[in-house]
Amino acid sequence: MNIVLLYLILLKATLTSFSGLGSLPVLRADLVVRYRVLTDRQLNTAVAAGRLGPGPLGNYVVSVGYLAGGIGGACAGWLAMITPAFVVILLIRFIGARAEHPRAKAAVRAVILAGAGLLLSAALPLGKDAITGSLPASLAGASFLATLSARIDMLWIVTAAALAGVFAYAFF
φ, ψ at 35 (rounded to 5°): -95, -15
Return the ∠ at Cα 64 (arms to 76 and 90), rounded to 5°.
45
Q: Is the pLDDT of residue 20 over 80?
A: no
| Domain ranges across the chain | 3-130, 132-172
Q: For residue 171, is it left (φ>0), alpha (ψ between -120 and 50) or beta?
A: alpha
Q: For the full predicted model, state whether its pTM sits above 0.85.
A: no
pLDDT confidence band for 7 (50 / 70 / 90): very high
φ, ψ at 36 (rounded to 5°): 55, 40
pLDDT tens digits, one per residue of 34-54? 999 999 999 999 988 888 877
CA distance 159 to 113: 30
pLDDT tens digits, one per residue of 118-152? 778 878 888 888 888 888 888 888 888 888 887 88
Give the chain as a 3 state SS string. CCHHHHHHHHHHHHHCCCCHHHHHHHHHHHHHHHCCCCCHHHHHHHHHHHHHCCCCHHHHHHHHHHHHHHHHHHHHHHHHHHHHHHHHHHHHHHHHHHHHCHHHHHHHHHHHHHHHHHHHHHHHHHHHHHCCCHHHHHHHHHHHHHHHHCCCCHHHHHHHHHHHHHHHHHHC
79 versus 96: which is more confidently predicted? 79
pLDDT of residue 54: 78
CA distance 44 to 124: 12
pLDDT of residue 41: 92
